[in-house]
Amino acid sequence: MQKISKVIILGIDAIEYDLIEKWDLKNLKQKEYGKTILPLYPNQDPTTEIIWPCFITGKEPEEMGYSSLNVCAKSLRPIISPISPVISKLFFDFKTKNGTHKKQVTWPILYGCIMLLKKIGLIHKPTKEDIKSETIFDNKQIKSIHLHIPIFDKDDFPEYRKEIIKVISEKLYHPIIEMKLKNEFTQRLKEVYDCVKKNNWQLFMQYFYVLDGVQHIFYRNHKKIAEFYLMFDEFIRKLTEIIDDETLLLIVSDHGLKKGIHTPYGFYSVNKKLGLKNPRFIDFREIIEDKLVKT
């Protein structure tokens, strides 16, 4: 394989492998692509706040620092950790006929308990401080730039993300959110192009929330979803025209989406043959470091 002097990682949330194939998006496919094995526990839904920190650390959730969307205070961990699988099985049903994740009627009880524990400070949403392992950006042998990485960067999610759940069933807000999604896409594209022009980095990672948002809101509108996928496909076409032969372009996603529900596998695509087959999502850190540190 030829020399690799730079790596660009595009973390595009919620790329669905089956849609890439269905619409034959050749630019998103690149020279090698496929599904990835996510760092999931049994019955666990792939969530942004857990999967992306696992990607940048190259660790399973518990090694990375936490394995739940709600991080317990140290005093509670010896109690909560052993019973987490039981709680998951009790409050969630993952065996629906169509394969989707359906919450049981008991979930409001769990939600109420979580809100109470948050209020009294016994649990909290994960923060950068909860990531206990070093990340690829901490490797002092690699000059890196990272933008909007979930949990790791303070500006990880766009402001409108918290509106998504509210507007899924409120069609009046759909045009507003669509505009915000397109604005985010445009702004983050500009950031990528601006960075590519510079020579002060070896590793650059940019994160996009866009596809996750659009597929949750417009999950019944395949035409609208296809529009956004085509936007990304065209972006990749233009980007590959301006990067040099020594740049590795890696596209990764933390999960897919079907009918508004996360699918339990990720996606990867790379502009050079790496010879991977259904790689683990957490293996990419080592692959990238191997390419950059040896060159």
271 shares a domain with 159: yes
207 shares a domain with 102: no
State the CB neighbour count (10 A cutoff) for residue 77: 12
Average confidence score pLDDT of the chain: 86
Cα dihedral 284→287→293→295 (10° resolution): -130
* From 95-99, 123-127, 134-138, the region with the lowest mean pLDDT: 95-99
pLDDT higher for 166 or 283?
Answer: 283
Beta bridge partners of 124: 71
Average pLDDT score over residue span 213-231: 94
Look at residue 1 and tell me if it is in a domain.
no
pLDDT higher for 230 or 126?
Answer: 230
Give 234-240 contacts, CB < 8 A, sequence gap 24+. Answer: 234/27, 235/189, 236/10, 236/27, 236/28, 236/30, 237/27, 239/8, 239/192, 239/193, 239/196, 240/27, 240/30, 240/271
pLDDT above 80 for 200: yes
pTM, entire model: 0.85
| pLDDT per residue as tens digits for the range 180-194 | 999 999 999 999 999
177 shares a domain with 270: yes
Give the domain range for residue 192: 6-60+133-293
Residue with tokens 């690829």, as numbered in its chain: 136
43 φ/ψ sector (left φ>0, alpha ψ -120 to 50, else beta):
left
| pLDDT per residue as tens digits for the range 232-272 | 999 999 999 999 999 999 999 999 999 888 999 999 999 99
Give the CA distances from residue 202 to residues 10, 84, 137, 143, 235, in Å, rounded to whole numbers and listed in that order: 14, 40, 11, 5, 21
Task: Name the packing angle between helices 222-242 and 210-217 (round to 10°).
Answer: 170
Angle CA 127–133–137, to nearest 5: 85
181 shares a domain with 277: yes
148 shares a domain with 269: yes
223 shares a domain with 287: yes
Look at residue 65 and tell me if it is in a domain.
no
Coil, strand, or helix at residue 92?
A: strand
Coil, strand, or helix at residue 156?
A: coil
Query: What is the model's pLDDT at position 199?
Result: 86
